A and B are shown apart, each in its own frame.
Chain A
Amino acid sequence: MVTESINILDKGAESIIIQGELLGKKVIVKYRIKKPYRHPKFDEMFRKTRTKTEAKVLSELCMNNVNVPTPLIVDLKNSVIVMEYINGEKLSDLIDHIDMENLKTIAYKLGYQIGIMHSLNIYHGDLTLANVLINNGKVYIIDFGLAGYSRDVEEYAMDIHLMKKSLLALAPDKMDVFMEKFIKGYSESYQGNVHVVLQRVEEIRLRGRYVEERLKKKILREKYAE
């Protein structure tokens, strides 16, 4: 059974991660907490659906050899998932003091994993540096609360876009190298057309607010300015 002593490993934005033991093996218990700032009815609906998708996606990814924690017990009523314990460090914590060669390998492996995931028509929905764990050079993807199933390229492109944005915010100088390797890994495992996805990534960026490249007049104006 899960041990009684509570050892809180991490407090995420929407859940508490507790370390426990199940049949002699280390496990983590992910408990989606109630949020007092939300309407109670909304809160309940919310936690339930997210727990459900996460459990479903995790088990499917596990069966297809993507590095994610194996889900062991799901309790929808209390919004709890018990899953395999992974002893790793968040890439967001590592990125500032990791050497370039190591980072390149990580980026490649991550891209490869994401490629498999997208080939299964699964998107992550919150692919950031904080949701990537590194353990002995092995790359794990965690936190599938916003994940889902879709055949729409938009969702796959969104994952890549989010990874880019996360890099831009936390390690802007390493983004280009990271993304190059990431795409390389991705291209090798993704079964659809990679160019379609990458084109959509660019489209998503241009769609953002106040992106100047969208303004055609700019070209004219710059001509006047010279």
Chain B
Amino acid sequence: MHIGDPKNTEDNIYVLGIESTSHTFGIGIVEYNSRKKSLKIIANEYDRYVPAKGGIHPREAALHHTRVAPQVLKKALEKAGTKITDINAIAVSLGPGLGPCLRVGASLARFLASYYKIRLVPVNHAVAHIEIGKYLFNFKDPLIIYVSGGNTLIAIQKKKKYRVLGETLDIPLGNLFDTFTREIGLSPPYVVNGKHQIDICAEWGKEFIPLPYTIKGSDLSFSGLLTAALIQAKKHINNKVELGNICLSLRETAFNMLVEVAERSLVLTRKKEVLLVGGVASNKYLREKLVIMTKMHEAKYAGTPPEYAGDNGAMIALTGFLGYVHGVYIEPEKAFIRQRWRLDEVELPWLPNQ
């Protein structure tokens, strides 16, 4: 990776971002107006792979991505009213994620960059989730809560990196809900009309039953909770109310764990802003809990809206823009995917050195 001076330009800057880490193939375009010094998302197109049965099959998902990629790209360019030759930089999410899926995005990015001779900017998927949240709410230094199907972590920015204060030791929160609803036969589909199956199931229940609550410092563990909930659920698989109680208690326990860890970190760091990002950010129950918690500590709260909470190309383009103006780029032949690429490994020149 190179870090150097970006080209000084008076023209508008266009960055195209490609996202394909998991179930979503997305392309987003951002426009930077050099005169007004303003950044705008001008396209955000995506197509989601929905498994017919089971969870995400990496190969099936990758096949889906290759099928939809040309269409999504075309649609994004049309929506933005730009030609591919107008683009100043291609940003691509190189990881972390599922290998076969990542390869689709990376191949397209390498092709576009080398064929049209455009700069290629590597983007860490987790960083992108955070950057779009900061951009949308104009947050400067928030406590970050990143919850999705592949990540559950609490982070802050310090000395040019995002530092992880606490994270899951085994499975992520989104994965917990997905696996649970799948194992009891409610999913797929995992999300119906913007509502996760766990929330639909929780509506059937009334009572709270104790389930394992595992916190180690600021780290979380959900696997024991999943096993315990599944054992309970299999006993009452035909009783709608009992099943509802388990869903309710599972969600309650998991969210309480997360909010408690977030609260600890908030007290520790004394941040004035709390930002919720990632796919699970669209869950209204988690949002409610966080609103109450942040109010108790007089911190501002914001969560990314559903449009930008799930994986999308716009966040990659946005982060790619930050990379581009700070001279972060990579040769196409060296743009390898990284299935494992921790958030706290990435040095980000646009973060303050404090």
* Contact present for A172 and B163 (CB under 8 Å): yes
Cβ-defined contact, A209 with B151, below 8 A: yes
**A119 beta carbon closer than 8 Å to chain B:** no
Closest chain B CB from A37 CB (angstroms): 4
Q: Is the C-beta of A14 less than 8 angstroms from some C-beta in chain B? A: yes
Known contacts A208-B169, A210-B341, A225-B336: A37-B208 contact under CB 8 Å: no
Inter-chain residue pair count (beta carbon < 8 A): 111
Contact A162 B256 (CB under 8 A): no
- A12 and B172 CA atoms in complex are apart in Å by 26
Chain B neighbourhood of A92, CB < 8 A: 268
Interface check B288, CB cutoff 8 A: yes
Indicate if B210 sits at the interface (CB-CB under 8 A): yes
**CB nearest to B338 among chain A residues:** A212
- Tell whether A169 pairs with B208 under 8 Å between CB atoms, given A14-B260, A209-B342, A210-B340: no
Binds A, one of B31-39, B67-75, B85-93, B211-219: B211-219
Query: Do residues B158 and A36 form an inter-chain contact, with CB atoms below 8 A?
Result: no
Chain A residues with CB under 8 A of B145: none
CB neighbours (8 Å) of B163 from chain A are: 168-170, 172
* Residue A215 CB within 8 A of the other chain: yes
The answer to whether B252 touches A162, judged by C-beta atoms less than 8 angstroms apart, is no
B213: chain A residues within 8 A (beta carbon)? 46
Q: Which residues of B contact A172 (CB under 8 A)?
A: 158-159, 161, 163
Contact between B159 and A165, CB atoms less than 8 A apart: no
* Docked pose: A42 CA to B213 CA in angstroms: 10
Question: When the two chains form the complex, which single residue of A11, A38, A125, A210 contacts B217, counting CB atoms closer than 8 Å?
Answer: A125
B218→A39 contact, CB < 8 A: no
Q: Are A41 and B218 in contact (CB under 8 A)?
A: no
B267 touches A169 (CB 8 A): no
Residues in B neighbouring A208, C-beta threshold 8 A: 167, 169, 342
B256 and A13 form a contact (CB under 8 A): no
Dominant SS among interface residues on chain B: mixed
Judge whether A42 and B256 touch: CB under 8 Å.
yes
Q: Is A196's beta carbon under 8 Å from chain B? A: no
B residues 262-282 touching A (CB-CB < 8 Å): 263-264, 266-268
Residue of A nearest to B213 (CB): A46
Contact for A211 among B166, B336, B340, CB less than 8 A = B340
Q: Is B181 an interface position by the 8 A CB rule?
A: no
Q: How far is the CA of A130 from the CA of B217 in the complex (A)?
A: 11
Interface contact A37-B259, CB-CB below 8 Å: yes
Partner of A42, one of B169, B210, B341: B210
Residue of A nearest to B170 (CB): A207
Interface: A19 (CB within 8 A): no
Q: Is B216's CB under 8 angstroms from A162's CB?
A: yes
- Chain A residue with minimal CB distance to B163? A169
A210: chain B residues at CB < 8 Å are 95-96, 339-342
The answer on a CB contact under 8 Å between A14 and B268 is no
A146 contacts B by Cβ under 8 Å: yes
**Interfacial chain A residues near B96, Cβ < 8 Å:** 209-210
Q: How far is the CA of A45 from the CA of B210 in the complex (A)?
A: 9
Given A162-B216, A215-B340, verify A37-B292 contact (CB < 8 Å): yes
Give the interface centre of B156, B164, B266, B268 by most chain A CB atoms within 10 Å.
B268
Most buried by A among B95, B156, B158, B217: B217
What are the residues of chain A within 8 A of B268 when measuring CB–CB?
13, 92, 128, 130
CB–CB B253/A162 < 8 A: no
B165 in contact (CB, < 8 A): yes
Q: A127 on the interface (CB 8 Å rule)? A: yes
Known: A209-B151, A211-B342, A225-B336. A162 touches B259 (CB 8 A): no
On chain B, the residues within 8 Å of A29 by CB distance are none
State whether the Cβ of A97 lies closer than 8 Å to any Cβ in chain B: no
**Contact yes or no, A125 B293, CB < 8 A:** no
Specify which of B292, B334, B338 is in contact with A36 (CB 8 Å cutoff).
B292
Chain A neighbourhood of B345, CB < 8 A: 212
CA distance A127 to B252 in the complex (A): 26
Which residue of A is nearest B161, CB measured? A172
B284 at the interface (CB under 8 A from A): no
Task: Report the minimum CB–CB distance from B171 to chain A (whole Å).
Answer: 9
7 closest cross-chain pairs (CB), A and B: A162-B217, A37-B289, A210-B340, A169-B163, A13-B264, A37-B292, A210-B96
B interface list, Cβ under 8 A from A? 95-96, 150-151, 156, 158-159, 161, 163-169, 172, 208, 210, 213, 215-219, 252-253, 256, 259-260, 263-264, 266-268, 288-290, 292-293, 297, 334, 336, 338-342, 344-345
With A92-B268, A209-B167, A210-B339 known, 15 other A-B pairs at CB within 8 A are A13-B268, A37-B288, A38-B252, A42-B210, A42-B252, A125-B215, A127-B217, A130-B268, A158-B217, A162-B219, A165-B164, A170-B158, A170-B163, A212-B345, A214-B340
9 A-B pairs within 8 Å (CB atoms) are namely A39-B256, A42-B253, A125-B215, A130-B268, A158-B217, A165-B165, A209-B168, A210-B95, A210-B340
